[in-house]
Amino acid sequence: MNNKKNYDEQLSAIMNRLAESVLELSDDQVLAEEREKGIDPTKEAESIRNVLRHSSKMQRMQKLQAAERAYEENVARLNKNQYQFPDSPTRRKQLLAAVFAAKPDVQSVLLTAQHRDFEQLTDVDVESLLRQLADLGILESFK
C-alpha cells in the first residue's frame, strides 16, 4: 500500500511538472509543436468546438426531452380524468354560470368577449369549460 501511495505521488508530481512546462510555452511554441506532430491546430480547434457544441446541445436536449415527457404524462393524465357533470345541457350551463358568478376572475380568463353572454356557447363549449375548471380544481367547492 505504501509503495502504491509513493508511486501515485511521484506520478502526480511528474504530471504537474509537465502541465507547468506546457503553461510556460508561448502560443507560437505550442502551435509549432502541434504542427511538428502533424496536427493542424485550426482543424483540431474546430473539432474541439464541435465536441463542446454537441455536448451543450445534448444537455439542452435532455431538459427539453424531460419537459416533453412531463407534458405527455400530464396530457395523458388529463385525458384519463373522469368527470361527473349534470346530465342536461341546461343544468351544465347553470353550473358554469354559478362558478362564474362566484368567481368572476375565472370567467374573464376562460371566456372571450363574444361568449360572455352565455347564449352563443354550445353544449360542447360548456362541457369543455367545465372540464377545464374541474382539472384546475375549481369545481370541487360546487359539488
Distance of alpha carbon 54 from alpha carbon 122, whole angstroms = 50
Is the separation of the CB atoms in 99 and 142 below 8 Å? Answer: yes
Mean pLDDT of the chain: 84
Q: Give yes or no for residue 5 having a pLDDT over 50.
A: yes
Report the alpha-carbon distance of residue 95 to residue 52 in Å, rounded. Answer: 57
For residues 28-45, give the mean pLDDT. Answer: 90
pLDDT at 58 (0 to 100):
93
pLDDT digit string, tens, across residues 83-111: 888 888 888 888 888 888 888 777 766 76
Cα separation, 88 vs 127, in Å, equals 11
**65-71: average pLDDT:** 94
Q: What is the pLDDT at residue 119?
A: 67
pTM: 0.44
